C-alpha cells in the first residue's frame, strides 16, 4: 500500500514539472508574438507617391517623402499619410455675372498637389480643407476675370479678347495660395463648360433663332442680287453677240451679193445674146403664172418666142 502511494507522488511531481514547462513555453510564445506585434505596429512603409507625416503629441516632428521602411516611437508618435501625386478636383459649379450684366453658370476643374506638407498641415490640416480653400480662390479669380468680359467674348473663343484665360486664372490662384503659405500648388485650372441659368435659356434661344433668320434673309437677298446681276450681264452679252453676229452676217451677205453680181457681169459680158435670153426668161418667171392673160402683137419678138418662132 505504501509503495503505491510513493509511485503516485512521483508521477504527480513529474506531471507538475511537465505542466510548468508547457506553461512557460506557452507564455514565451505569447510574449514573442506580442513583441512581434508590438514591433510591427511601430514599423511603417513609405510608398511611392505619398508623404508620411510623423506627429509627436500632435506636433509634426518629421516628414518622410522617400520610399522605404521606417520606425516610430511607440505610444508617443503617430503617422499620417498625405498624397504626393497630383490630384484632380471638380470645382463646384458657380454662377457669375458678365460685364454686360448677364448671368452664367461656370464649371471648372483643377489639378493640384501638395508642395510643402508641413505648411499644408499647419494652415489647412486636411486634404479636404485644402480643396475647399482652393475652390474658394478659384471661384473668386474666375468671377473677377469673367466679370471684365462681355458674354459674347466669353462664349466665342475664336474671336475672344480673354486670351489665355486658364493660364491667367492658374497663376492668380497660385499667388493667393503662396501668399497665405498653404503649402499646395495648382498645376492647371480649366473651364469645362459654360451654361446659362434655366430661366434665361429660352430667351437666348429665341434671340439666336431670330439672328439666324436675319442672317439667312441677308444671304437670300445677297443671292437674289447676285442672280439678277448675272442675268443682266448674260442678257447684255447675248445682245452684244447677236448684234455682232448680225453685223457680220450682213457684211458677209453684202460681200456675197457683190461677188455674185461681179460673177454675173463677167458671165453676161462674154455673151450678150445669152444675157438677153436670160433676162427674158427671168421676166417670164416674174410675170406669167396660171392665170396670166397676155395680149401681144403677133409680130412682136416676145410673142414669137412664146409661139416657138426663133427667127
* 151 inside domain: yes
Average confidence (pLDDT) over 47-62: 85
User: Is the domain of 167 the same as that of 134?
Assistant: yes
User: Is the domain of 109 the same as that of 27?
Assistant: no
Burial level of 186, CB count in 10 A (0-12/13-18/19+)? Answer: buried
Our count of domains for the chain comes to 5
Domain holding 33, by residue range, is: 1-41
> Contact 185/120 with Cβ under 8 angstroms?
no
User: Is the domain of 178 the same as that of 123?
Assistant: yes
Q: Provide the CATH number for the domain around residue 110.
A: 3.30.479.30
User: Is the domain of 57 the same as that of 112?
Assistant: no
Find, among 86, 135, 139, the residue nearest to 111 by Cα: 86
Q: Which residue has the cell 504626393?
A: 84
User: Is the domain of 161 the same as that of 131?
Assistant: yes
User: Is the domain of 119 the same as that of 186?
Assistant: yes
* The three cell numbers locating residue 290: 396660171
Global pTM reads 0.53
User: Is the domain of 75 the same as that of 112?
Assistant: no
> How far is the CA of 81 from the CAs of 20, 63, 118, 128, 183, in angstroms?
46, 10, 12, 14, 16
> How far is the CA of 20 from the CAs of 15, 16, 27, 29, 270, in angstroms?
9, 6, 10, 14, 171
* 203 inside domain: no
Which carries the bigger pLDDT value, residue 141 or residue 268?
A: 141
User: Is the domain of 191 the same as that of 102?
Assistant: yes
Task: Quick: pLDDT tens for 130-145.
Answer: 999 999 999 999 988 8
* 201 inside domain: no
Question: Taking CA 62 as the corner, what is the angle to CA 56 and CA 67, rounded to the nearest 5 degrees?
Answer: 125
Question: Strand 59-64's sheet: what is its strand order?
Answer: 59-64, 50-56, 77-83
Task: Quick: pLDDT tens for 17-29.
Answer: 677 777 777 777 8
User: Is the domain of 186 the same as that of 114?
Assistant: yes
* 275 inside domain: no
User: Is the domain of 72 the same as that of 117?
Assistant: no
290 pLDDT band, cuts 50/70/90, is low
Task: Quick: pLDDT tens for 98-156.
Answer: 888 878 888 889 999 999 998 998 899 899 999 999 999 999 999 888 888 887 777 66
* 14 inside domain: yes
User: Is the domain of 104 the same as that of 177?
Assistant: yes
User: Is the domain of 187 the same as that of 93?
Assistant: yes
How do strand 103-114 and strand 184-195 relate by DSSP bridges? antiparallel
* 206 inside domain: no
- Out of 24, 53, 85, a domain closes at 85
Amino acid at each position: 500500500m505504501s509503495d503505491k502511494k510513493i509511485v503516485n507522488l512521483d508521477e504527480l511531481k513529474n506531471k507538475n514539472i511537465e505542466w510548468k514547462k508547457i506553461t512557460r513555453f506557452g507564455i514565451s510564445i505569447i510574449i514573442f508574438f506580442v513583441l512581434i506585434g508590438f514591433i510591427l505596429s511601430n514599423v511603417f512603409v513609405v510608398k511611392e507617391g505619398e508623404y508620411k507625416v510623423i506627429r509627436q503629441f500632435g506636433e509634426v516632428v518629421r516628414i518622410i517623402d522617400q520610399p522605404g521602411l521606417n520606425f516610430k516611437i511607440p505610444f508617443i508618435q503617430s503617422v499620417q499619410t498625405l498624397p504626393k501625386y497630383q490630384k484632380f478636383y471638380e470645382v463646384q459649379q458657380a454662377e457669375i455675372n458678365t460685364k454686360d450684366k448677364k448671368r452664367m453658370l461656370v464649371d471648372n476643374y483643377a489639378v493640384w498637389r501638395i508642395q510643402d506638407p508641413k505648411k499644408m498641415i499647419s494652415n489647412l490640416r486636411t486634404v479636404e480643407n485644402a480643396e475647399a480653400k482652393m475652390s474658394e480662390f478659384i471661384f473668386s479669380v474666375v468671377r473677377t476675370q469673367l466679370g471684365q468680359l462681355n458674354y459674347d467674348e466669353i462664349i466665342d473663343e475664336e474671336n475672344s479678347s480673354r486670351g489665355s484665360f486658364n493660364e491667367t486664372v492658374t497663376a492668380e490662384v497660385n499667388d493667393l495660395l503662396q501668399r497665405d503659405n498653404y503649402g499646395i500648388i495648382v498645376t492647371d485650372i480649366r473651364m469645362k463648360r459654360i451654361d446659362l441659368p434655366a430661366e434665361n435659356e429660352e430667351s437666348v434661344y429665341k434671340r439666336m433663332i431670330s439672328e439666324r433668320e436675319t442672317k439667312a434673309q441677308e444671304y437670300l437677298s445677297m443671292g437674289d442680287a447676285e442672280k439678277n446681276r448675272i442675268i443682266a450681264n448674260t442678257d447684255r452679252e447675248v445682245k452684244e453677240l447677236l448684234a455682232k453676229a448680225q453685223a457680220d452676217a450682213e457684211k458677209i451677205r453684202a460681200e456675197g451679193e457683190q461677188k455674185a453680181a461681179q460673177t454675173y457681169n463677167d458671165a453676161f459680158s462674154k455673151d450678150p445674146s445669152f444675157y438677153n435670153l436670160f433676162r427674158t426668161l427671168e421676166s417670164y418667171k416674174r410675170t406669167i403664172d396660171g392665170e396670166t392673160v397676155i395680149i401681144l402683137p403677133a409680130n412682136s419678138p416676145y410673142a414669137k418666142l412664146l409661139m416657138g418662132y426663133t427667127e
